[in-house]
Structure 1
Amino acid sequence: MLSQAHATVKQLIAQFQAHSSHYLSPKYQEAEVRADFIDKLFTALGWDVAHDYQKNPYAQEVKVEKAQRQADAASQKRADYAFSLAPDYKTVQFFVEAKKPSLTLRQNRDGYFQTAKYGWNAQTGVSILTDFEEIVIIDCRAKPDFDTILQNELRYFKYTELQDEDTFAEFYWLFSREAVAAGNLARYIADLPKAKSSGKQLRLLGGRYLSIDDSFLSYIDDIRLHLAQAFYQNNPALNSYQLTEATQRTIDRLVFMRFLEDKQIEPETLLYNIASAAHPWAKFIAECKRLDTKYNGIVFKPHFIDQNSFLGADETAFRDIASDLDHTNTPYDFNYIPVHILGSIYERFLGNIIAIDNGKAAIEQKPEVRKAGGVFYTPKYIVDYIVENTVGKIIAGKNPDYITKLKFADIACGSGSFLIGVYDCLLDYHKNYYNRYPDKAKSAGCHFDEATGTWVLSIKQKQRILLNNIYGVDIDLQATEVTQLSLFLKLLEDETMASANDMQVLFADKILPNLSGNICCGNSLIGYEIMDIMGNELAQDEDIRRKINPFDFQAAFASVFATGGFDAIVGNPPYVKVSDKELLAYFKQHFQHQNYQYDLYLLFLERYHALLKEKGLLGVIVPNTWLQSVTFTKIRKHLLGDYRWHKILHGKEHIFDAVVDTHVLVFEKGSLKGKSLFDVDITENQTIVFYQQLDQNSFDKNGGIINILAKPEATALFKKIQAASETLGTAATVYNGIKPFEKGKGTPPQTEEIVEAKPFVKENQSKPAGANWKPLLRGSLINRYENLWHEDSWIQYGEWLAAPRDSKIFEAEEKIVVRQTGDRIIATVIGKDIICRNNLHIVIAQQRNHKFLLGVLNSKLANFCYYQINPERGEALAEVKKAHVEQLPMPKIRSAAQQKLHNEIVKLVEQLLAAQPKARAALSDSDKNFHERFIASLEQRINQAVYQIYGLTADEIALIEAAA
């Protein structure tokens, strides 16, 4: 491919050289150089520029801008070429912006800025500016700054340089189709030095550059604060809720106006006219009222900010905001900011509210967001996976009349990312259907696009799909408004001023549908039955009513439940523990599949079942603790018994920017009958790959822990070991260590000063003077068969500690301790009067020999079993929990041969306990090597003895050894 491409390009170079005076003439236009050279260059690189093979316009890797272009770069709205990779045709890998060769590109600041603007808005990383005579690779990672834009040049080629094989290879292995498909371009971008940001960005961010989503979020956050302060100054009677809503609605309208401008659905002068008006706020309100007559929807719907009694923002402040957002003054281009990126921006934007503090408007994080540790937006590849395996599976092979009757929902919709994904899936399916069956397209209301030779959906059809198929609920009113805004943006994404005007002329109708019956505000977990628990409080306290916000699905979506419920529910429910007493009382009464620990995501997992119709599909991303926590038996039993599992996607890396391990579930409502195989997929670098297939029937129907990563042969071996064992929790008692400090705990209750000063613990010193000082052991002070305490860590033990535990635990003559932090079992034995912190588990047996139990705990077999119980191996912040330790199998000794092996293990452990200090004290390398080899031999003999006790085969031993 490389040599063939190079030969073609050398011919193009020779042609340009032979007639350079013609090609460099100002009369030779951009359209000509594209056809004569640039198209052919990228065709040589393996791209189907002319669409000789990729005939379907919805499945083409190269999008070529065919519209008549104006010479003025400021008025240009689309890049000349956008390159993507199948099957993700909507994610641009890089842009190519063409110019006529008579222009000198290195002096063309407008061209650099324009190219960087396209790439930055679409998050491509790099893009190309070329007139064929010159090729410039532009850095698009940083927000483009016109004054410094020439610094964004990464590489410059004169066309004649590409005659050299090595130089051409450099270009080819970045931008050829095979190079991009192999990930070369992505690696090149990842390995680039930190992006060159403008001085302003550097000052604001300490040298970091802003991606489009971070930049726009920062931008609208700044607008929100200025608007809120301006609104409050002129309208001091507004409360926090009203102020938040006023700023939100104003920003939504401004963003929507910019979207309409960039898509050229409305003239580009909307914001310019507002900014240049004598009274900008009044002009803004007048434009909103005009647009409401045309567009409908919640964005321009009459609102209290439209009323004369609302004084708006002062003229100067609002003029500055409108002027700054005008397309001539901003790098933001809504042609290239994907709607899902806008959704991610709004998701984080909604995490804050306007608060009134000491007579001033300020931005505050919502309490529930603080509790959850922030706002975490679901990545697009996860949304796509869920939608494809739910909605995509349901509509596959169906006709539009059938699809019209289907109902899809997200009942914790946030900014609408999943509903955008569902809508996108439905639009793509309908477009492809009508182009496969063109005889049905016209009668269905499609328009024929002469430029592409394809049938496209009309606005009316897009409206119907939205109203017929898509439903959402969120407890936050602002979230439901943003969801509607996002869906409207998706509806208008491919429209033009002509198509929008045709809609009004042909149907005498508004362009946007009324979604108030589809996207609703309410609490998906709580119905009006809560009045039975806290009726008076709800009636009297408006803040509590707003917080709880009960919702009746049957009343809100009567037509959905008349046919049995939703056909699919998708989403990402909140992950927050419930602590409110009234809410706990409600959940205990109305939810049957919860254990004592209530988390919102577990409640949602139960709630979905009542809202899905029989055989309806569920596709959600949730923490993986529902599989692994010993306390979640009821929800596991429910999900195993009331659903047929299709897929579980394991997040090998953290899917969110938070330390939470997640799974995607794709389940079908309905009881399991017969054998049921399901796929386990895993994510690797945002790529989803098949891992294995498992049988749902193989899991404990009573809700035992489930390990989806264990291979079937490993699971079978674990079950064999369990059958010949008792759990450690049966053979012994497992205790938590002490917790020294916590405000309000202990006798007397600890104060904040005590928690801060930590007077009851002394580290790195000899034993303090005074009573009750005892050795303090923490997890990091033990290793396998080794206690590393060196008389320098002490605790004043007594009832004043936050959680001192029963003193008899520490008075026991001998006990095993197991380290909590880590992803494997690390244990040793200790003597009496050593106090253990709560990062150690303490094991005390009355009948069984501690040294035997220790030998088994530290064996390879025990770690193999631990990985079956808790597959957190290699993960950040992995912990060996008390419940995990209690579940570890300990062999039952039933024969003389087993007793002999038992006694041998005890002796080997005693030798190990004696050998470890000698190895640590050894000074010379030869002494260390001598002791370490002896220790390794003892451990190997213990492993073999444990295998023999269980009577394992060579193949079974190999399985354990491979997992060690």
Structure 2
Amino acid sequence: MYKNLKNSVLESKKTLKEFIIKNIENFKKENLIIREFLAKDNNKEKFINEITFNILSKIISSKLLYKKGILKNAYDYNELKRYIPELFDELYNIKIEEKLLKKIHNNFSSVEDWDKDDILGWAYQYYNLDENIPKIHKQSQFYTPEWIIEYLVDNTLTKYYCEIYDDSEIANKYKIQYKKQEREIKLENIKIIDPACGSGHFLIKVYNRLKEFYEKQGYKKEEYIKFILEKNIYGIDIDEKGVEIAKTILKIKALEDGYIKPINFNIVSTNFDIVKEEDIEDIEFKEILKSIKNEISGYKELGSLITLSKENREKIIKKYEKYSLFTEKTVLEKHYAEKMKKYLIILSLNYDIVISNPPYADSHDYTPELRKLIRERYFDFRKNLYSCFIKRNYDFLRDGGLLGMITPQTFMFISSYEDLRKFIIKNMHIESLVHFGLGGVFEDALVDTAMYILRKEKGNKENKSLFIDLRDIDYNKKKEVLDNIIKKGKERKYIYYENQNEFKKIPGYPFVYWINEEVKKIFEYEKLINFADVRQGIATGDNKRFLRYHWEVPREEISFNHKKDGKKWVPYAKGGPYNKWYGNLWWVIAFDEENYKLLKKMGNHLPNRQYYFKSGITYSMTTSKGPTFRLLPENFLFDCKGSSIFTDNENFKFALLGFLNSKLAFYIYRFIAGSVDLEVGDLKNIPIAPGLYKNSKKEKMLIKAVKLIIAIKKQLIETSPLELHYIESPLHSIKEMQNFENKVIKYTKQKYLLELYITILEGFIEKTIFQIYGIKKKTIEEILNQEGIPEIWIGHIEDEISFDISILKNKYLNEFNIKEQDILMLQKEINRFLKTRKDKNKKIERKEFEEVYLSKNRKNNEGKIKRLSRVLNTNPLIVYNNINNQLILKEKEYIRELIFLAINHEYIKEKGNIEYIKEKINSLGITEEILKKYSKIKDLEEYISEKILLDQKKYFKKRVPYI
């Protein structure tokens, strides 16, 4: 942010700390207060840290005042003390060698930003970079850039001022849209608070704007500086150092403006000890303290999140108006007493403007004490500390007041913030919201953010809100684009106007300002909960005890009809990685009588038992690419991370599975869930179009396509020993007597053809879902722009697609009752649709194709055809036709895996008998020459005896198969 400042601060900090540590015993001898402080607190590290920063603050402040022409000598601390006495607490009165002082001053000689108002605040941020501070505080150390502060201040304070004074000149200067308000209030009576003020970044900008407004209204300088600092500006923070910096910066600004009188700031930290009743002489104040005792418990952790009852606020304000900040003396140390009094006053007032970048701390990072306090006082807003601040800031506001904040965007969509969204829509008007998405705001943190202006008002909800969508703007250009929108009236394509009441139409009230009327109508359909039961599965409470991969137990001990055979191990669906339609069926659970009794008492006590062993739809709720849905076969149990959907309508089950895996559904999940986790409660609210259950032609075609995909997927993965329905290795599946390389080529081409069929069918399903939901071309383009175009829609296909039925296994077609005429009918419909695709095909260079084909990539369940199509942005049929025999044989890592799978199959089947294994492997064409050419195996017998277990661990998720 500031050139060379970070390095200067960290280097000086290191030098000073070394000096203080070396001389601390001398300081104790020379300074009684230091000696008492260290004896009392027994906190040497705290003292070293505080005195180090105090010296740095003096150095930076003296340089600032020197550069501004206020100090005559940057090294004269006696002169500095006259201007900023707060920096010279007796605790920090130590002697520093002049040589050392000059060295540290010289560290800052390369800093060029002394004209910037907030340089001291940024110095504090950099000072904290290598501090071992608690995680909850570290997450809150995101200092707000100048351009964000400017937007929030101008759209709250500047707008508010223009509304009162009808100042079109100021409005035009700062590009503010406003309407004159019939609200009479003097400028000196406008109160602005930053309830998490830190080192005062917002308050500096507030000072600058107020100064301009006062001058425009004809106030005298000496008068308005006092008004700004003692009547307009308020702040609270739990960080003592930050608050002292804020006051120092504002004092420097006042000095720069020629104001040298003492200032009674209304900025306070909660770093004070509570006043004891027996030490209070004032009877009224003693009564107030007695009545607020419970209300202010936890004030050091909560800061401005403390709320006082209306009755107590009125008592405090009444006394404040009468005695002006309780000026009466008590036997308490005045320093702490005055802090506490000021804190209570600030909590009791109402404000015209609240402006803040509050702490971002998720509930799982709360300390035990903070978690307890937040649950007691902000239960509906407890998910994150910033959420609590939104509620508290609303309470700070007077009616008609404006709130400006920047926070994570999570409150806009995620289900756990639904109560907060309802609260905002009911009690405030969204004046504007700038949606940044990931990055582009904070220097040292990639946070998904939004900044917004809210007005405290009920009614007047017919006014539309302004939304600016910068999510897809490059990280470094968000500021530039926002400037073009606000200051130059350009880039209108990023602007949306929406009535906030429209959000009520969508389950969970997500702030999905960009969706059109066509998408909104989707949410008028009945919800999934009316057609199917969405159920959470088992949480064992001890997975290591109850769960195994199916290959870890004897096959004969796995139950495939538990009601009849009662075997110990039962197939278990447990989510897993991104994978559509079928698969990830790796697990078994101990479910014999003994373990059943244990599970009833553990975890979540076996919920929803009436659905056990039924066929349904299971899904992975958390993957980096979102949820994926798969068929749950009969005779399975299901996990809480593989929660499932059940319906008595068999046809609807398959139609629903097609919809749930569609681009349209994924688009909807973003509104309903708002994160990678799609909870059971979110799924229940998915809108179901009548075309999914009304026995229409489109529904029938959808069901046939989904069933055919599942049949093909089962055939495709039957050669994977990770899957429960595994048959044999890929090379074993080619029965014809051929040499090794021909077997590899034949198997691979057949595999890629099956992948191609799935990709074609998925594209057809996408088209059918859009038709069933009545989505028109323009909206489809909007959805696919966000979710990605189906691969078979890329470019166009010259020839008609023809399914080779001879390579499809009858056992899987029969399992799903798929007839040849069904496949031919689907083929006809698919070709009819694909003829409408007229986009040009991208020309593929052979070299580029080979590079992408042979490039290493993380394994996933999408298949190579789909991946190549997406990466090369070309039709998957073109991809398939470009894969030749020679290219397949260049895939050394892939062929090594095929060899391993063949050896592994025989190793398990023959229970490690080397002679039998060698004989069977040789019959597959895996000779010594082949091993030398395609694998790293030098000696097959040695590999089987000594090394196969290492490869098994790698392939089988660190759990070797049972033999």
Normalised by the length of structure 1, the TM-score is 0.58
- The one of 498, 521, 524 equivalent to 1:723 is 524
Q: Deviations over 1:23-72 (max 9, x none)?
A: xxxxxxxxxxxxxxxxxxxxxxxxxxxxxxxxxxxxxxxxxxxxxxxxxx
CA separation in 2, counterparts of 1:663 and 1:631? 17
Shift in Å at residue 911 of structure 1?
A: 0.8
Is the aligned partner of 1:686 residue 2:496? no
Contact 1:344 1:377 in 2 (8 A): yes
Answer with 1 or 2: which has the greater Rg: 2
Is the aligned partner of 1:886 residue 2:684? yes
- The one of 650, 663, 669 equivalent to 2:456 is 669
| Residues 1:305 and 1:892: Cα distance change in structure 2 (over 3 Å) | same
In structure 1, the residue matched to 2:151 is 385
Partner AA of 1:633 in structure 2: E
CA separation in 2, counterparts of 1:599 and 1:818? 28
| Residues 1:429 and 1:629: Cα distance change in structure 2 (over 3 Å) | same
In structure 2, the residue matched to 1:566 is 351
Give SS of 1:270's match.
Answer: coil
Contact 2:431 2:466 in 1 (8 A): yes
Q: Deviations over 1:844-868 (max 9, x none)?
A: 3355643232112112332232233
Contact 1:649 1:665 in 2 (8 A): yes
Shift in Å at residue 710 of structure 1?
A: 4.6
Give SS of 1:365's match.
Answer: coil
Is the aligned partner of 1:322 residue 2:109? no
Partner AA of 2:198 in structure 1: G
Shift in Å at residue 616 of structure 1?
A: 1.0
Shift in Å at residue 216 of structure 1?
A: 1.9
Shift in Å at residue 667 of structure 1?
A: 1.0
Greater mean deviation of Cα atoms: 881-890 or 614-623 = 881-890
Shift in Å at residue 408 of structure 1?
A: 1.3
Is the aligned partner of 1:650 residue 2:448? no
In structure 2, the residue matched to 1:24 is none
Is the aligned partner of 1:346 residue 2:113? no
In structure 1, the residue matched to 2:581 is 785
Q: CA RMSD in A?
A: 4.6
Contact 1:785 1:828 in 2 (8 A): yes
Contact 1:343 1:415 in 2 (8 A): yes
Contact 1:480 1:521 in 2 (8 A): no
| Residues 1:662 and 1:959: Cα distance change in structure 2 (over 3 Å) | closer
Instruction: Please give the residue correspondences for 1:136-155 in structure 2 after superposition, counting only pairs within 5 Å.
Output: none
| Residues 1:486 and 1:762: Cα distance change in structure 2 (over 3 Å) | farther
| Residues 1:342 and 1:693: Cα distance change in structure 2 (over 3 Å) | same
In structure 2, the residue matched to 1:628 is 413
Contact 2:229 2:265 in 1 (8 A): no
In structure 2, the residue matched to 1:78 is none
Contact 2:572 2:638 in 1 (8 A): yes
Q: Deviations over 1:417-456 (max 9, x none)?
A: 111222233345567x49xxxxx6xxx55xxxxxxxxxxx
Shift in Å at residue 960 of structure 1?
A: 4.9
In structure 1, the residue matched to 2:86 is 298
- The one of 506, 511, 517 equivalent to 2:266 is 517
In structure 2, the residue matched to 1:732 is 533
Q: Deviations over 1:766-787 (max 9, x none)?
A: 5489996666766554522131
Greater mean deviation of Cα atoms: 880-889 or 565-574 = 880-889
In structure 1, the residue matched to 2:59 is 254
Shift in Å at residue 410 of structure 1?
A: 0.2
Contact 2:505 2:523 in 1 (8 A): no
- The one of 829, 841, 845 equivalent to 2:631 is 829
Give SS of 2:434's match.
Answer: strand
CA separation in 2, counterparts of 1:895 and 1:484? 66
- The one of 697, 704, 709 equivalent to 1:907 is 704
Higher relative contact order structure (alpha carbons within 8 Å, sequence separation ≥ 6) = 2
| Residues 1:393 and 1:297: Cα distance change in structure 2 (over 3 Å) | farther
Instruction: Please give the residue correspondences for 1:459-474 in structure 2 after superposition, counting only pairs within 5 Å.
Output: 462-474=225-237
Contact 1:718 1:868 in 2 (8 A): no
Give SS of 1:676's match.
Answer: coil
Contact 2:532 2:645 in 1 (8 A): no
**Identity level (%):** 20
| Residues 1:475 and 1:703: Cα distance change in structure 2 (over 3 Å) | farther
In structure 2, the residue matched to 1:394 is 160
In structure 2, the residue matched to 1:418 is 202
CA separation in 1, counterparts of 2:644 and 2:11? 50
CA separation in 2, counterparts of 1:122 and 1:348? 10
Greater mean deviation of Cα atoms: 215-224 or 954-963 = 954-963
Is the aligned partner of 1:476 residue 2:273? no
Partner AA of 1:726 in structure 2: K
Shift in Å at residue 711 of structure 1?
A: 2.8
Shift in Å at residue 871 of structure 1?
A: 5.4
Contact 1:224 1:248 in 2 (8 A): no
In structure 2, the residue matched to 1:844 is 646
Partner AA of 1:938 in structure 2: L
CA separation in 2, counterparts of 1:722 and 1:584? 36
In structure 2, the residue matched to 1:268 is 73
Shift in Å at residue 723 of structure 1?
A: 2.4
Give SS of 1:260's match.
Answer: helix
Partner AA of 2:101 in structure 1: A
In structure 1, the residue matched to 2:737 is none
Instruction: Please give the residue correspondences for 1:697-712 in structure 2 after superposition, counting only pairs within 5 Å.
Output: 697-701=500-504, 704-712=507-515
In structure 1, the residue matched to 2:920 is none
CA separation in 2, counterparts of 1:584 and 1:464? 39
Shift in Å at residue 390 of structure 1?
A: 1.1
Q: Deviations over 1:565-617 (max 9, x none)?
A: 222110111223456677667656655xx527453222221112222122111
CA separation in 2, counterparts of 1:914 and 1:411? 60
| Residues 1:260 and 1:711: Cα distance change in structure 2 (over 3 Å) | closer
Is the aligned partner of 1:403 residue 2:187? yes
Is the aligned partner of 1:935 residue 2:736? no
Is the aligned partner of 1:365 residue 2:142? no
Q: Deviations over 1:290-315 (max 9, x none)?
A: 543x3156324x44444xxxxx46x6
* Larger relative helix fraction: 2
Partner AA of 2:670 in structure 1: Y
In structure 2, the residue matched to 1:173 is none
Q: Deviations over 1:109-134 (max 9, x none)?
A: xxxxxxxxxxxx953xxxxxxxxxxx
| Residues 1:214 and 1:671: Cα distance change in structure 2 (over 3 Å) | farther
Contact 1:386 1:620 in 2 (8 A): yes
Structure 1 unaligned residues grouped into runs of 5+: 1-120, 124-210, 272-286, 307-311, 353-362, 435-439, 446-457, 504-509, 539-543, 740-744, 751-757, 873-877
Contact 1:644 1:670 in 2 (8 A): yes
Structure 2 unaligned residues grouped into runs of 5+: 29-34, 171-184, 273-284, 325-344, 486-491, 558-566, 718-729, 731-743, 788-963
Give SS of 2:527's match.
Answer: strand
Q: Deviations over 1:676-695 (max 9, x none)?
A: 11111234333225623333
CA separation in 1, counterparts of 2:468 and 2:653? 41
Partner AA of 2:606 in structure 1: D
Normalised by the length of structure 2, the TM-score is 0.58
In structure 2, the residue matched to 1:30 is none
Contact 1:737 1:842 in 2 (8 A): no
In structure 2, the residue matched to 1:453 is none
| Residues 1:838 and 1:213: Cα distance change in structure 2 (over 3 Å) | farther
CA separation in 2, counterparts of 1:515 and 1:229? 38
Partner AA of 1:860 in structure 2: K
Q: Deviations over 1:386-430 (max 9, x none)?
A: 112112222346689953332211011111111122223334556
In structure 2, the residue matched to 1:814 is 615
